[in-house]
A and B are shown apart, each in its own frame.
Chain A
Amino acid sequence: MAQTLTVAIMDAPYEAAASTTAFRIIASALRKGIDVNVFAYEGAVSLTMKGQAPHANPVKGTTVEEEDHPTTKDIVSALVALGAEAPRLTWVNCGLCVDERGAGDWIDGVKRGGPADFLKMAEGSSATLVIPTK
């Protein structure tokens, strides 16, 4: 029987190690053939903003290309590609949180929703993991 994992995340990009851990959990579950729902709440809605750009590192004197700085929108894009069909990744950004932050210009493969969607996703899942802010 197909399994589904729902993950709620709240941390804004480039702020908390929990974002990296969440990405690793989502990637691992998808690679195991588990469908994954992500509900991005509060600052986490900015993880998917399309306008993110990598940067050089003046401390090390490296260029943008040499630094190869990972952006969260590229990581989420990779997860969306990993979960394009079966297993499926469903990524929902909280609409109110998006509007508050003006963070509506996001990458392909992301939907707008609300806390009611999180409830439905959790009710329909084999397991739910909530990763709060510290």
Chain B
Amino acid sequence: MSDYVLIESRDPFDSADTGFVADTAEALRARGRDVTVYLVQNAVLATRAGARGSQVPRLAKAGVTVLADDFSLRERGIEAGEIAGGVRPASIDALVDLVMRPGAKTLWH
């Protein structure tokens, strides 16, 4: 069974279509797939606790692993204490490990 790595690069306050990634992740989880959403670039703006319109809470509730690129967090001044529950900071090395797992399917948005 394939694992899925969905890389979200878009700011939810700028791109309404970030909901499609969350919809896809939720649907894959509902079918029993292992799904990771890796937030990078302006997508990490959704990680702040209380960010309106963020897809992060429903992803975490659905059992999707949500990782936020540590470099992108630092660039935007988002500190660990500000991040919503269910999100873990992760390095680009961690992303490469996920992408290179045998059978993993990776999609960039």
Residues of A near any B CB (own CB < 8 A): 3, 5, 17-18, 21, 24-25, 28-29, 31-32, 34, 126-132, 134
Contact = CB atoms under 8 A, between A and B. Distances in A.
A89 B41 CA distance: 25
Interface string B81-109: 00000000000110111011010101010
B19 to A, nearest CB: 16
Interface residues of B, number: 20
Given A18-B9, A28-B93, A131-B108, A5 B99 contact: yes
B40 interface: yes
Given A34-B100, A127-B99, A127-B104, A21 B93 contact: no
A9 to B, nearest CB: 10
Contacts of B106: 127-129
A18 B41 contact: yes
A123 B19 CA distance: 31
Chain A contact residues, majority secondary structure: mixed
A11 B10 CA distance: 15
Contact of A17 (B7, B42, B92, B102): B42
B71 interface: yes
Contacts of A24: 71, 92
A26 to B, nearest CB: 9
